[in-house]
Amino acid sequence: MYRRLFFASLSLLLLGACNAATDTGEPRAYQVEVVTDELRHPWSMAFLPNGDVLITEKAGRLRIFRDGELLPEPVSGLPPIHPTGQGGLLDLALHPDFETNRWLYFSYVANHEGDATTHVARGRYRDGKLSDVEVLFIAEPAGHTGRHFGSRLVFDKDSYLYITVGDRGNQPRAQDLSDHAGGTHRLHDDGRVPDNNPFVNHPDAKPSFYTYGNRNAQGMTMHPETGVIWQVEHGPRGGDELNIIEAGNNYGWPIITYGINYSGTQVGEGITHKEGMEQPVHYWDPSIAPSGLAVYTGNAFPDWQDNFFVGALAHEHLARLVIKDNKVVKEEKLLTERGERIRDVRQGPDGLLWILTDESDGSLLRLKPAK
C-alpha cells in the first residue's frame, strides 16, 4: 500500500545521469512513468488501435488498461487455464489485420490429459469479451513439470505465426523432432502448417517445427525494418542466448551450450561448438534470465535507434544492446536501481518503451525522455 501511494503521488520518477549514457559516453537522463502498479505477475501486453492496452496476468486474467486506469473487470471468454510453476496465461499477439478481423492470439498453459502443456488459441476481441475462441496449437506430449513452457508469439511480414516452446525441463526433448518441445514452430494464422516449413516432409518430425535445439525462448520479435526474427532464450547457469531464427536451424541445446547445470556439472557434451549447430549472436555468462525482446525504432530517443532491449529476470534490469553487423558491440544495464524482475518490453505506438515487471505488485512502466 505504501509503495502504491508513493508512486501515485510522484507519477514520474526522474533517473539521474548515472543510470544511462549515450553511445558517446555523455550522460542521459530519462523518466520512468509508473503507468500502474496494480498488476499481479504480468507476462505480456498488446496495444489496441483504440488506445487500450491488454495485459496478461499469469494466474489467468486478461486485464484492460484504459485512459490511465486499470479496469477492475478482466476480459471474459478465455478458455480454462492451468497456472502451474512458470505457466499460466502468457503471451499476446494481434493479427496483422486485427482492425478488420479482431483476432487476438494468446498462449497459455492448460491441463492436457492430466498433465500440463503450452496451448495457443485465438478469439475475436470486442468490448472486453472474447468470442469464437479456437485452439490452434497444443505442444505434445504434455509433461509433469511446471517449467520451460516458452510461449512467445510473433507474426512476420507474411502473416506467419511463430511460437516458442521450451524443453519442459527435460533436456533431450529439444533434439527430438517428433516432440514439440524445445523449438520454434511456424503456422498460418488459422493454425494450418505451411507447406514450406523446413521439416514438413520429414517422416519423423512434427511438421510445425521451424527451428529446434532451443532451451526456453521467452523473448522474440520481428525486426520491423529487415523482417528478421530474433529470439532470446534462457540458458542454465550461464549460456543465455540471443539468436537469429532461420528455417531448419539447430541451435544446439543441450549438446552445445555456454552454460553449465545448476549443480555445476557439464551440460551435454560439455562443448560450445559443433558442426551443424548454430552459434548465438550473443550469450550471457552469468545468466540474466532474458524475457521480452524489442527493437527500438522510435524517435523519442534518437541514438537508441535500432538498439535491442531485453528484459532480465535475474540481476533485475533492462539490457540495452547496440548491434553492428550482427554482433553486440555494447551492452548497458538500465533500471537496476528499481530491483524488479523485467518480464516484457515493447515499443508502444507512442514511440516509447513500455515495460512489465514480474512481481506480486507488478508494474507497467513507460520510459520517456527527461524534460
Is 112 designated active site? no
Complete DSSP assignment for 273-341: --TTSPPPSEEESS---EEEEEE---SSSGGGTT-EEEEETTTTEEEEEEEETTEEEEEEEESGGG---
One of 119, 148, 185, 282 is an active-site residue; which one? 148
DSSP for 13-41, written as a single string: EEEPGGG-B-TTS-B--EEEEEEEEEESS
Neighbour-count burial for 128-149, b at 16+ CB within 10 Å, e otherwise: bebeeeeebbebbebbebbbbb
- Look at residue 360 and give its three-state secondary structure: coil
Selection from 20, 22, 23, 17 nearest residue 329 by Cα: 23
> What is the CA angle 68-120-220, rounded to 5?
70
Closest CA to 46 of 152, 197, 161: 152
Under 8 Å between Cβ of 89 and 81: yes
Please identify every residue annotated as catalytic. Answer: 148
